[in-house]
Amino acid sequence: MNTSPSAEGSRPRTRFLTAAVAWTALVAVALAVMPLPFRDRLPSPMATHWGPSGDPDGAMSLTALIVFALALWLAVAALCLAAASRGRALTRRSARAWLVAGLVWGAAFSLGLEAVTVAANLGRARWEDAAPLGPQAVLVAVAAFAAGAIGYLAARRGPDEPPAMPDVPQTDLGLDPGRSAVWVSSVSSPPLFAVGLVVLVAAGSLAVAALFGLPAPAGPMAAVTAVAGLAVLSVSTVAVTAGPEGLRIGFGPLRWPSRRVPLSRIERAWAERAFPSEVGGWGYRGLPGAATIMIRGGDCLVVRYTSGGQLRISVDDAANGAALLNALLSAPLR
Amino acid sequence: MLLTLDLNDPRPLHEQVTAAIRRAITDGKIAPGDRLPPARDLADALGVNANTVLRSLRHLRDEGLLEFRRGRGVSVLRRPDARQALESQVRDLLDEAARHGFRPHEVIDLIKELS
């Protein structure tokens, strides 16, 4: 996917990237400027963190709050911009929609957080007196997701240009009509498995520490760490099965969760080689509709959906899996 | 690894699974040194119990086709030799004959007639 977009296709791409950069700058300026008119009516430091009870339990200066909000926004925007500038990402309608959704969500979320924080501190003498924050925080999260969804729907238009499909020669697998054929393959990465285990152990230690009365953040931190550990484990090993029912991908050592793609949704399959350096690392990479499940570099099975999207999984013996899927797709009775 | 199962095979399941894996090795779909997918994945794909697959794998190990290694799973040791390959083909032939109502000695007569 290293082909540079043609001159004709590069104009909308430039326009999209320019608009995204302008949006990033605009939101950054808004984040920096918005609290300034209220400067005189805010305590210093001001409350910036609220405990589970809804009462403030942490404070920062106004400058630190602005820097924090800017860092949050720029991190989200940088991720989106990096994904947008990658190769031919912007030729896909769904990719553009996801990127717009991310940019709108990040803007709404960071601006909302800043506004809610300033509003809670407004007119108070000390940060400890800041208004409790419960429903407002939920409202910001919900509103940001809603804004992201609207952005997604609004940007889901324009030309969609699926990446070219290679010509796959029909391989004769010697399938008899009286036999049912299945293809089974799996791939695992011991390093990823080890990393997942280490993170899970860390989560367990944090949970134990929280039980024995370590400060409050240990509990939520244990939960977040556990989720991260499980996420890494789920892509440390994957089983891929192809058969008359279609494609099935089982994640993690338990093969759960699993994902099924019925034959009716598949247009064609092929094998190609891809490496973590090309897709940006290990694990689930890319956006839905153009994603890669990268466990290790090398042989990959690619499935093109009838909807135009595609999914790529690094897995051994991909050529046979692709050939079986294609044979099942071209079978008269399916 | 590509496996094919006969939809009308009257033999017990574990024998069918054994035959399917043996055929994959004979046909070169999986080469000596290659690792087999975990038994549980094979069982899921074939729609059989994991114990059935394990029984087949042990049988093929006893035939000398597979190698079990602790921590490294099951890998292919070698292809069936000519006699073993022929044997499984003859077994298929006998099953096919039985389906049409021929007894083994009638098949033998047929072979003698042809050779």
Instruction: Give the relative orientation of helices B104-114 and B82-99 as an angle to the nearest 10 degrees.
Output: 120
| Contacting B residues, span 17-76, partner chain A, CB-CB under 8 Å | 27, 29-30, 37-38, 40-42, 44-46
Query: Which residues does chain A have within 8 Å of residue B3's beta carbon, measured at their own beta carbons?
Result: 181-184
Q: Which of B41, B48, B99 to mutate to test the interface with A (most CBs of A within 10 A)?
A: B41
A298: left (phi over 0), alpha (psi -120 to 50) or beta: left
Instruction: Give the relative orientation of helices A93-121 and A62-85 as an angle to the nearest 10 degrees.
Output: 180
Please indicate whether, in this complex, the C-beta atoms of A182 and B41 are within 8 angstroms of each other.
no
> Which residue matches tokens 């035959």?
B19
Q: Quote the pLDDT of residue A9.
A: 53
Q: Looking at CA atoms only, how far is residue B29 from chain A in angstroms?
A: 8
Q: Quote the pLDDT of residue A332.
A: 56
Tell me the C-alpha distance between B111 and B94, whole Å.
Answer: 12
Query: Which residues does chain B have within 8 Å of residue A333's beta carbon, measured at their own beta carbons?
Result: none
Q: Which of B1, B2, B17, B30 to mutate to test the interface with A (most CBs of A within 10 A)?
A: B2
Tell me the C-alpha distance between A114 and A28, whole Å.
Answer: 12
**Per-residue model confidence as pLDDT tens for chain A (334 residues):** 344 444 445 677 888 899 999 999 999 999 999 999 998 888 888 888 887 777 888 888 899 999 999 999 999 999 889 888 876 777 778 788 889 999 999 999 999 999 999 999 988 888 888 888 878 888 999 999 999 999 999 988 877 776 677 776 666 676 767 778 899 998 888 889 999 999 999 999 888 888 887 666 677 788 889 999 998 988 899 999 998 889 999 998 888 888 999 999 999 999 999 888 778 788 888 777 778 899 998 899 999 998 888 899 999 889 889 999 998 888 754 4
Please indicate whether, in this complex, the C-beta atoms of B45 and A317 are within 8 angstroms of each other.
no
Among B1, B4, B44, the residue with its CB nearest the CB of A180 is B4
Shortest CA distance from B39: residue in chain A: A184
In single-letter form, the type of residue at position B107 comes to V
Tell me the C-alpha distance between A99 and A113, whole Å.
Answer: 21
Which residues have C-beta within 8 Å of that of residue A106, sequence separation ≥ 6? A27, A72, A73, A76, A77, A80
Dihedral sign (CA A241, A243, A245, A246): positive
Tell me the C-alpha distance between A310 and A302, whole Å.
Answer: 7
In the CATH scheme, what architecture does the domain B7-79 have?
A: Orthogonal Bundle (1.10)
Q: Where in chain B is the domain with CATH 1.10.10.10?
A: 7-79
Q: Are A261 and A241 in contact (CB under 8 A)?
A: no
Tell me the C-alpha distance between A233 and A28, whole Å.
Answer: 36
DSSP-assigned states of every residue in A201-254: HHHHHHHHHHHTT--TTHHHHHHHHHHHHHHHHHTTEEEEEEETTEEEEEETTT
Please indicate whether, in this complex, the C-beta atoms of B41 and A241 are within 8 angstroms of each other.
yes
Q: Quote the pLDDT of residue A28.
A: 95
Q: Where are the alpha helices (DSSP H) in A93-189?
A: 93-121, 135-155
Which residues have C-beta within 8 Å of that of residue A169, sequence separation ≥ 6? none
Of B85, B71, B73, B105, whose CA–CA distance to B25 is shortest?
A: B85
Q: Quote the pLDDT of residue A71.
A: 94
Tell me the C-alpha distance between A242 and A318, whole Å.
Answer: 10
Residue ranges, chain B, pLDDT below 50 = none
